[in-house]
Amino acid sequence: MPVTKTKSKLKAKAAKPAPASVKAVAPPRDYKPLDPKRITDLLNRLNAAYPDPKCALTHRNAWELTVATILSAQCTDVRVNMVTPELFAKYPTPADLARVQPELIEPDIRTTGFFRNKSKSIVGAARKVMSDFKGKVPETMDELLTLPGVARKTANVVLGSWFGKAVGVVVDTHVYRLSRRLEITKADNPVNIEQDLMKIIPQNKWIDFSHQLIWHGRKICFARKPNCAECPLENLCHAADKTWSTVPIHKSARP
């Protein structure tokens, strides 16, 4: 047995790629990160890696998804999914939450962080849904943005994942980081990043594209020490913080 283990370890070690040794350089003048062929290649590889991407937030209806997305701000989806079952068991509908004071639900959502603001947003959104939309989550961007706690990211999640409407592109922390690493935007705020992505990604891909980048960020393209050696996009990526590379690294390609 000891001999077998040693051989196995040596084999695994030998199979591991060498770390990146390419120095960061300025992109060549003829490099076009937004070239349609590169974007198509990028989309095809994401489709192959994540063929059926779904929202990671557990939900059974549009209201639950709205609440879960509000809770996901500055919090992991895993943590939100631990909190929402008990919350929805206590308050199944917008009407139930509209009747309570925000302070009452603070203990239920405390572990998601910023719980005081989130409790006010959730109860405020429930009251707005009841008073203005007859108890149903609205299906347009303009109407969703009138709900307390709902900005474009939350509205895009609800419209795309529940209603199947590609109105915009969800820009969360993963999409922000990966789109800048991949040099498909130079913007440094979610609003402008979304506008940039909407110009180069076909509208029928907007919903899947954001989910694919989110899953890719969770599984491979980590904020710290991305697993570049296992990345299906590796030779399309020139990010300055790559941990392994077969292509030149660009100084400006950074999250």
pLDDT at residue 16, as a whole number: 55
Residue 65 in tokens: 């998804």
pLDDT tens-digit readout, 202-243: 999 999 999 999 999 999 999 999 999 999 999 999 999 999
pLDDT at 12 over 50: no
Name the nearest CA neighbour of 97 among 125, 69, 116.
125
Rounded mean pLDDT, 70-86: 95
Place of tokens 């849904």: 129
Architecture of domain 22-53+169-250: Orthogonal Bundle (1.10)
pLDDT at residue 59, as a whole number: 97
pLDDT at 147 over 90: yes
Residue 249, classed as helix, strand or coil, is: strand
pLDDT at 6 over 70: no
90 a catalytic residue: no
172 a catalytic residue: yes
Distance CA 213, CA 215 (A): 5
pLDDT at residue 19, as a whole number: 56
Catalytic residue among 77, 108, 118, 153: 153
Q: How confident is the model at residue 78 (pLDDT cuts 50, 70, 90)?
A: very high
Mean pLDDT for all residues in the chain: 92
Catalytic residue among 77, 108, 118, 172: 172
Q: Which CATH superfamily is domain 62-161 in?
A: Hypothetical protein; domain 2 (1.10.340.30)
pLDDT at residue 1, as a whole number: 43
Rounded mean pLDDT, 163-188: 96
Assess whether the region 22-53+169-250 and the region 62-161 belong to the same CATH fold.
no
- Domain ranges within the chain, ordered by starting residue: 22-53+169-250, 62-161
Do residues 123 and 98 make contact, with C-beta atoms less than 8 angstroms apart?
yes
Rounded mean pLDDT, 151-176: 97
What's the start-to-end Cα distance of the chain, in Å?
Answer: 46
Q: What is the pTM of this model?
A: 0.87
Distance CA 241, CA 183 (A): 13
Q: How confident is the model at residue 54 (pLDDT cuts 50, 70, 90)?
A: very high
Rounded mean pLDDT, 141-163: 97
Provide φ and ψ at 59, rounded to 5°.
-160, 155
